[in-house]
Amino acid sequence: MDWKECAFWCAFREGHTLGVAKCSSFKNRLSKFNSTNNINPTPDEDFAKTLTGKCSVGDGEEVAFDETQNEFDNAYYITLWRNSGLLSSDQTSFRSSQTKGFVNMYTANQATFFNDFSQAIH
């Protein structure tokens, strides 16, 4: 994947800065993850415990992608940087050597993210 394609996908993912996901979309990370770990070891431990509590209500419970769920900003990337990405596919963008630099850049510089997102949607 070249730089331009990485920038596109990393910026385009930011659609997750708005809205929520139902617990059914990520509950596989919270229990019976694999034979070694009950909970997926990737997320921050406190974050995983918070999600487990919220999802104890049921699969239909909704959880925001980030703390500013109704604001278009770089908070989504900050959650990834903190290992608190809601979906496994999102958190992978912080762990991947191809995309981690973009996550770090967008975490540190919201204006750069806005510019790249603008380019990605055009």
For residue 46, say whether it is annotated as part of any ligand binding site.
Answer: no
For residue 66, say whether it is annotated as part of any ligand binding site.
Answer: yes
For residue 73, say whether it is annotated as part of any ligand binding site.
Answer: yes
Token reading at 44: 């921050």
Q: What is the dihedral of CA 108, 43, 90, 114, to 10 degrees?
A: -20
For residue 17, say whether it is annotated as part of any ligand binding site.
Answer: yes
For residue 116, say whether it is annotated as part of any ligand binding site.
Answer: no
- Other beta carbons within 10 angstroms of residue 122's beta carbon come to 5
Q: Where are the beta strands (DSSP E) in 1-122?
A: 20-22, 62-64
Which residue numbers belong to the known binding site for Ca(2+)? 17, 66, 68, 73
Binding-site residues for heme b, in ranges, read 16
**Residues comprising the binding site?**
16-17, 66, 68, 73
